Amino acid sequence: MAKEAVKKIKLQIAAGKATPAPPVGTVLGPAGINLQEFCTKYNDATRDKMGDVLPVEISIYDDRSFDFVIKTPPTSFLLKKFAKVQKGSVKGSKEVVATISEATLREIAEIKLPDLNAYTVEEAMKIVAGTAKNMGIAVEGQE
């Protein structure tokens, strides 16, 4: 018989840098799971993606065991990383803070495809382009 998940928690943690200290400890502590065990498993699973911020969905079961699913980095994080900017535009699409190429847009879309509501890379590119526009990041060859 499959275990029943009592609680689902979503966090965004830097890859390979989870510690029992806040913010991880303050969120997972009340759930009653072993913080050190979670941090060790998370850090081992994300060691190859050091430097990225990764969303993680943690399922906690009634016997205080847990498992987690690591998602792809947020689109805004990837856009800032590839465009080499610290933050997006304060004024949204009215102010351009950086420009990325169509190839970079495709690369980000391919990374995000498993977590997006899209079937093809072209559809994913439109979603990522929309996020880029709202962040003030222009895409070469697009309005």
pTM score of the predicted model: 0.75
Q: pLDDT digits over 85-123, tens only?
A: 887 777 777 788 888 888 888 888 888 888 888 888 888
Residue 48: per-residue pLDDT: 83
Q: Which domains does the chain have, with CATH numbers?
A: 5-70 (3.30.1550.10), 75-139 (1.10.10.250)
Task: List Cβ<8 Å contacts ≥24 apart for 71-77.
Answer: 71/115, 72/111, 72/112, 72/114, 72/115, 73/49, 73/111, 74/12, 75/108, 75/112, 75/127, 75/128, 75/131, 76/131, 76/135, 77/52, 77/53
Predicted confidence (pLDDT) per residue in 1-12, tens digit: 457 778 888 888
